[in-house]
Structure 1
Amino acid sequence: MNRTSPIDSASSVDPAGTPAGIATAPFFVRGALVEGQDVRHTSRDLGADFTTPALDLDQVVTPRSELPPLLGVKVSEIIDFLVETGHALAFDRNPHMRACLELLAATNPLPRRVVENLYRTAPELLSRASLESMVTSNFGGPQALDGWVTRTDRRGNRGHLRAFPPRMVHMLAGNAPAGCIASIAQGALVKAINLFKMPSSDPFTTVAVLRTMAELDPAHPVVRSMSAVYWQGGDETIESTLYRPQFFDRIVAWGGGPAIMNVIKYLGPGIQLISFDPKSSISLVGREAFASPETVAEVAERVAEDTTVYNQEACLASRFVFIEGERAQVEGFCAELADRLAVDRTFASAQAPPPAADLRDEVEVMVTMGELAMWGGFDGRGLVVLSDQPVDFHPANKTSNVVIVPSLRDALAHVTVATQTVGVYPWDRKTELRDALASAGAQRVCRVGTANMHVPGGPHDAMFALQRFVHWMGDDDIER
C-alpha cells in the first residue's frame, strides 16, 4: 500500500506554522490524535482554506488478521459508553465542540447560531432510549450482535448465525455538522471498524466527538475502532487504494450525486455501497387547510417549518407543496408562506444565502411570461413561486414551489424513488395516501410540520441500515 498520500507542492504549508487565518483540522486514527499542517485544502461551499496532516494510509487500515476491537464487547456496554459520551458532549462543558463552532464559521454555510443549536441538541442521539431502539428495530435485540444465535430445523439440524462486525468507510455529509454523531453511534452499535471521511464543509466535528470519547477512556474498544480523516473527494490515488475488499466491506455514502457516482466505480465483489443519496421532500396540503384564516396561517407556518430545515439544505426539507384549492385561496396561502419563511428558527435563519443568479434569472423570466406567480424575493428571506406544474429547477435557499392540484392523488404522479419525506395535512389523509406513496417510491410520510422529528428506531431512506452494515455469517451444522 502507498503509505502516504501525495502532497502537491502548491498546496504544502510551511511546517513551522499555519498561515494566519487558516484553520487546522487534525485527524483521529484508531484512538490517537494526529496533528499537522502538511496539506492545504479548500472547502467546497465557502472556498475557505484549511490544513490537515498528511494522510498515512497504512495507519487507517486495520489488517484483516486483527479481529475487530469491539467483537467481544456486549452491546449493553457499548450503549453505556455512548450514553456517557452524550453527557460529555454537553456544549457548555465541552471545549472541543465550542472550538469547532468557531472554526465552522469559515467552512460551513449554516449560520453560527444554527450550528450551535445542532451541537446542543445532537447529543440526544446518544440517549439510551434512542440507541436501544436502533438495536431493537434492526435486529430484534442484541443477541446476534453479541454472539452466535442457534436455530434448529425440523430434522434436528442446527444453524448458527452472527451479525459480525464490518469494516466500513463512512463518507459523511456536510449539510448537518452534528450528523457525524449518528454515524459514530451506528458504527459502534454494529461493532464495526470505522473510517470516517470528513466533508470539506466540516473537517472538525467528527474529531471533536472522538477526542471527547478518548478523554473518557483512551483504551476503550469503541475509541480504538474509530478513525476520522480528510482527503479531497475524488482523489483517485487515495480512493483506488482504500476502496478495496481486502480493507473494507462497506462504503456508507452520504452525499450528492457526483460523490455517489464516484464511489460506484470502485464497487465489486466483496465491497458494497450503502447509499444515502440525494433526496427531495414535498408537502401535500388538502383543501381542509382553508377551513378558516386561522387554519391557513397554521398550515403555512407548518409548511415553513418543514421547508427551512438547515435553510433547506436537508433532504427532508420540503421543496414542493401540492395543494388543493381555488386559485384565490392558494394565492393567499402563498403570501402567508412567504412571510413565515422569513423567520428565525432553531435550525434555520431568517435570512439564508440568496438563491443562485441563474435561478433568479429563470424565475424572473417565467414570472414575466405569466408562467409563475411570485411572493417574497431573492434576498434569502424566502421565495414562493406558484405554478400549475412543478418547476424544472431545484428549489433551494428557502424557495418553495406551490402547485395547485385537483386532488392530492394527482400529486402522486410527481413522487419518485428520490422523494424522501412527504408531509401531509390534514393528518387523517396520511392513511389514505401512504400505500400509494410507497408504491411510487416515497420513503416516509409524516404530519406537515414534523419533517425534522422522528420516532426512534424507524427506517431511513427505506431501509434499516444497521442490518445492511453487518457481515451476516452463517454456520450450518447438518447431521447426515
Structure 2
Amino acid sequence: MKKIIELPIIVCGEFVYPGDDYIEIEYTGGIVARITKANDAHIDKIVSYREKLEDIPLHQITAYLSNFGRAFIDPNNEIRKEAVKYGSQVTGYSTEMIDRDYWMISEYLMSPHVSYNLLDAEFGNYQMLDGWVTNQMARVRVYPRGRAFHVLVGNVPLASMYSIFRSIITKNQTVVKLPSRDVISALYFTKALIEINGPDHPISKALSVIYTPPKGDTFKTLIESSDVVCAWGKGDSLKSIKELVPHSVSYLEHGPKRSYSILKLHNIDLDKAALRLAHDMTVYDQEACLSPQRLFVIGDPTDFIKHLKKWLNKQAQLLPKGRVNMDAESHLLRLKMEAKFRNWLIEEGDSGWTIIEADPYLVTDHPLGRTMFVHRINSIEDVIPFLDDETQTISLYPYNKDFVEKTGHLLCAHGVSRICETGLANYPREGFTWDAVYALPYFVRTCYMDAEFNTISKYGRRDQAEHYISGCYGNPGVDSEEIKSLLFDEDLQW
C-alpha cells in the first residue's frame, strides 16, 4: 500500500501545498512524495523578486541562522522530527544518520562566531559584507550578486543545507531546485528557517524551494534569470547545466569526486586508527565524495583488518546502514564474485560492510555501501597513479607533521584537493576549501573604491610617486610647471 507524503513548495517565503496540480515521486517501500507543481505564477513571482538585501547587517543574518540552530537542536522539535522521519523514508539512510545531519547543521549555525570565522577565511575580513575595508591603496566591499540558484543532489543531506547557507550568509536571494533523491532535507531546512524566524522576515521572503525536472522551460528560466548558479551532480548533468548558464552569470559546480585513505603501520595504536577509518567508511554509507573508498597501507594490513572489522560493527550500532537498492546489491555481488575469482581476501560483516584486499590496478569500479579496498604499498609514491583532479580527500594516519607535510605536498601536486587526519574525512573545518576553491566569492561581487588622487604612494617616497605619475601623464618635463602643480599638491597623502 502506498504512503503519500504531501509536501509544499516555497515561493518567496510562502508555503504552497499541493492542490490539483502536483508531481509525484515514488520511492522504495511504497513511499510517494507528492509535491506542488510550480506554475508560471510561482516562477514569475520568484524571478520578479528583487528586494535588496545588502543593507541587512551581518549580525541580523547570523541571528536569523542562530535562531534556527537553537530551536532545531532540540530533537523533539516537531519540524525536525518530521524531517528525520520523512528524510529516512525518502533517502534510504537510517534515521540515526539523518538525525545526525540535523544535529550537525543546528550545532553549526547556533553559534554566530562560526559564520564570522568562515567569512574571515574566505574573504579575509568579514566586515567586507557590511562596509568598505582598506586593502593596500583601495577600499573594498563585497555585494551580493542577487539571485542564487542551487541545483542540489540528494546523496548528502548536510551538503544541501550548507549550500543554502552559503547564499544566505552572502545576502543573496536563494532559489533551490530539489533533487528527486532527497526532496526532504533542503525543503525542511528552509521550512524551519521560515517558521522559526517568521515569514515576514526579509530573509524568509528571499527563500524559494521548488521541484522541477532538470530539463524544461521552468528549469531554463530559473538558470537564465539567476545571477549565480551553484550546481551539484555527476559529469553529464553538470555539462548540460553549464550549457544553459549565460556568459555573465557566475557558475560554481561541485562534480563527482572520490577519496582515499593512507595508513602507515609503524608504532601506531591499531584500535585508534581502525575506529577512525571505520567511522569515515560509515558516514552516508560512503556515498559522499569525502568518504574513503580505498585504503593504501604501508606495511602488512592483516592485524589492522581485524581491528577494522571490530570497529565497523560498533559503528554500525551507532549509525546503522541504510536501505540498499537492487542495483547496489547486484553491483556488490558481482564484485565479490570477481574477488573470489582473483583469489582476493574478502571479509564481510552481518552489519553490511565488506573489506577486500585487492590489486589496486585491477579495481575499476566501486559499489560504495561500506566497502573498502585495501592495497599494500611500499611508499607514498605508489598512490600517485590513482590520483587526478577528481580526487577529493586523502586522509592520513598517523598525522605527524613531517609525514603530513611531505605527503600533502606530493599528493596535492598530483590533483588532490584536501589532506586531513583519518576520522575527520567528512568534517571540513574552518578555513577549508571545497574542491580546491573558496566558494563564497562566487556569490558576491568584490567592488573596489580607489584612494584619492593625492594618495599616490603607500611607502612614503614622494620622488618615486612623482616619477611614476609624471610618466603616466606623458613625462611633461621641467617646463610644464602648470601640469606638475596640478598633479602634485603639497598635501600628498601617504
**Common fold, TM-score beyond 0.5?**
yes
CA contact (8 A) 1:425 1:447 kept: yes
Give the Cα separation in 1 of the matches to 2:447 and 2:89.
Answer: 45
Please, which of 26, 31, 35 is the counterpart of residue 52 of structure 1? Answer: 35
1:132 aligns with 2:116: yes
TM normalised by structure 1 equals 0.84
Distance of 1:281 and 1:171 partners within structure 2: 23
Mark the CA change 1:139 to 1:383 in structure 2 (over 3 Å): closer, same or farther: same
1:142 aligns with 2:126: yes
Q: Residue 346 of structure 2: which of 366, 374, 385 is its match? A: 374
Q: Distance in 2 between matches of 1:91 and 1:61?
A: 37
What is the CA–CA distance in structure 1 between the aligned matches of 2:74 and 2:317, rounded to whole Å?
16
C-alpha spacing 1:276/1:249, structure 2 compared with 1 (3 Å)? same
- Structure 2: distance between partners of 1:175 and 1:182: 13
**Pairing 1:398–2:370 present:** yes
Would the aligned equivalents of 1:97 and 1:205 in 2 still touch at CA under 8 Å?
A: no
> How far off is 1:21 after superposition?
1.6
Return the offset for 1:346: 8.4
Which residue is 1:386 aligned to?
357
What's 1:435 paired with? 409
1:445 is aligned to: 419
Work out the CA distance in 1 between the residues paired with 2:27 and 2:242: 21
Residue 176 of structure 2: aligned partner = 196
When the two chains are superposed, the root-mean-square deviation of aligned CA atoms in Å is 2.8
Deviation at 1:170, TM superposition (A): 0.7
Q: Would you say the 8 A contact 1:308–1:341 is kept in 2?
A: yes
SS in 2 for 1:218: coil
Q: Distance in 2 between matches of 1:445 and 1:421?
A: 6
CA pair 194-46 structure 1, distance change in 2 beyond 3 A:
farther
Aligned residues: 446
Find the counterpart in structure 1 of residue 273 from structure 2.
Answer: 299
- Give the deviation of 1:254 after TM superposition: 2.0
Tell me the secondary structure at the aligned position of residue 383 of structure 2: helix
Per-residue CA shift, 1:421-475, capped at 9, x if unaligned? 1111111111221111211111111111221233224222211110122133446
Picking from 454, 460, 473, the partner of 2:434 is 460
8 Å CA contact retained: 1:311, 1:398: yes
Q: What residue identity is the alignment partner of 2:37?
A: A
TM-score normalised per structure 2 = 0.82
Q: Report the Cα offset of residue 345 of structure 1.
A: 5.1
In the alignment, residue 249 of structure 2 is paired with which amino acid?
Answer: I
5+ residue gaps, structure 1: 1-18
Tell me the distance in 1 between the aligned counterparts of 2:46 and 2:210.
18
Query: Which residue pairs with 2:396 in the alignment?
Result: 424
Aligned AA for 2:407? L
- The residue aligned with 1:3 is none
Residue 23 of structure 1 deviates from its aligned partner by: 0.9
Aligned counterparts of 1:109 and 1:121: Cα–Cα separation in 2: 19
Query: Are 1:338 and 2:309 counterparts?
Result: yes
Displacement of 1:64: 7.9
Stretch deviating more after TM superposition (88-97 or 399-408): 88-97
Cross-structure match for 1:33: 15
1:169 pairs with 2:152: no
User: Does structure 2 conserve the Cα–Cα contact (< 8 Å) formed by 1:27 and 1:34?
Assistant: yes
- Are 2:343 and 1:363 aligned? no
Which residue of the other structure, out of 187, 201, 210, is the alignment partner of 1:229? Answer: 210
Instruction: Name the structure 1 match of 2:86.
Output: 103
Distance 1:96 1:413, change over 3 A: same
Structure 2: gaps of 5 or more residues: 454-486, 488-494
2:37 and 2:212 in contact (8 A); partners too: no
Aligned residue for 1:59, secondary structure, equals helix
Kept in 1: contact 2:2–2:31 (CA 8 A): no
CA distance in 2, matches of 1:180, 1:351: 19
Q: Which residue of 2 aligns with 1:321?
A: 295
Q: Identify if the C-alpha distance between structure 1 residues 90 and 330 changes in structure 2 by more than 3 Å, giving closer, same or farther.
A: closer
Task: Find out whether 1:238 has 2:211 as its counterpart.
Answer: no
AA in 1 matched with 2:253? S
Deviates more, 1:264-273 or 1:80-89: 264-273
Aligned to 1:11: none
Q: CA deviation at 1:32?
A: 0.8
Q: How far did residue 266 of structure 1 move?
A: 0.9
Q: Counterpart in 2 of 1:71?
A: 54
Higher helix share: 2
CA distance 1:65–1:36, shift in 2 (3 Å): closer
Counterpart residue number, 1:263: 241
The residue identity in structure 2 corresponding to 1:451 is: A
Which amino acid counterpart does residue 120 of structure 2 have in structure 1? T
